[in-house]
Amino acid sequence: MSSQVWFITGSSRGLGRALVTAALEAGDRVVATARRPDALAEAFKEYGDRVHPLALDVTRPEAAHEAVEAALARFGRIDVLVNNAGYANVSPIETSDDEDFRAQFETNFWGVHNVTKAALPTLRRQGAGTVVQISSIGGRVGGSPGIASYQAAKFAVDGFSRVLATETAPFGVRVMVVEPSGFATDWAGSSMPVHPIPDAYDATVGEMNRRVRQSTAGAAGDPRRAAEIIVRTVHRGRVPTHLPLGVNATTMAQDYSRRQLTQATAWEKVSRSADFNEPYPAQLPAEAEDSAG
């Protein structure tokens, strides 16, 4: 494929910054957005006018539209939209501050909605484009204690993206949800505040915090490799609907799908019996057969 124009949110650090580098190294052009993009111009000055830093608060719909217009004014098109901006704060659901919970959702889900919606008219008119949603393996599997708002938003992004893919396929738009496991970024570092954890939740939320944030081993994932994989995949003619990245992400995705199939099969007769024309009542499966959880 010829040179692509990327529009990447959350470009100032972590996977977003690695993606800017990988796309530029592949010969593409990049609109790199962040709340405070000043450092981006200096970091990528060697690439000259192939990179265009922009300020963007994804929680503001009007700002998303303005950023898209600025990108079009600079490069004339957007070929790849990457919704990467996001963060998580740690707190049990019971004691979470409601405003903090909503604020996380504003960035992690509504930010994706805002930027995607702003870019869609351009992608539709072009008759081509790729939307890359940076989710998490937790957005497929879930159940990580302490980050309910973050994971709920990632589940919402997945549902949003499935509908988006169906609606935009006739326009030549592709949608890919990326599901990383732990990567060596600042996501679980200083950018993840930990709110007070009551003793009652020490075995769940507290243990998750200690395991993820205080491990001396560090995260297994290499953000440079992840970024290069994403760029190489986008340059293909076809992309997967979902792309787990990392050993843990791959294992968790496969195990979860197997458990889902096992449970759906065990409850199949009961599930079918809810329809008028099916035999009823159906015998509930033995509890030993329903260990999928």
State which amino acid sits at residue 251: T
The active-site residue, picked from 136, 144, 149, 154, is 154
| Strand blocks (E) in the chain | 5-8, 29-34, 51-55, 80-83, 129-134, 173-180, 242-245
Q: Which of 150, 138, 143, 212 is nearest to 179 (CA)?
A: 138
pLDDT of 211 higher than 90? no
- Residue 208: which pLDDT band, with cuts at 50, 70 and 90? confident
Q: Which residue has the higher pLDDT, 183 or 26?
A: 26
- Residue 289: which pLDDT band, with cuts at 50, 70 and 90? low
pLDDT recorded at residue 213: 60
Please, which residues bridge with residue 30 across strands?
6, 51
pLDDT of 187 higher than 60? no
- Residue 70: which pLDDT band, with cuts at 50, 70 and 90? very high
The active-site residue, picked from 149, 150, 181, 201, is 150
pLDDT of 242 higher than 90? yes
Q: Global pTM?
A: 0.93
pLDDT recorded at residue 42: 87
State which amino acid sits at residue 46: E
Are the beta carbons of 54 and 31 closer than 8 angstroms? yes
pLDDT recorded at residue 38: 85
pLDDT recorded at residue 100: 96
The active-site residue, picked from 135, 136, 149, 181, is 135
Query: Is 12 among the residues known to form the active site?
Result: no
pLDDT of 191 higher than 90? no
Query: Is 150 among the residues known to form the active site?
Result: yes
Query: Is 161 among the residues known to form the active site?
Result: no
pLDDT of 184 higher than 90? no
Three-state DSSP class for residue 59: coil
Average pLDDT over residues 231-242: 97
pLDDT recorded at residue 17: 95
Task: Classify the phi-psi angles of 282: left when phi > 0, otherwise alpha if psi is within -120 to 50, otherwise beta.
Answer: beta
Q: 5-245: which CATH number, 3.40.50.300, 3.40.50.2300, 3.40.50.720, 3.40.50.970?
A: 3.40.50.720
What is the Cα–Cα distance from 34 to 8, expressed in whole angstroms? 9
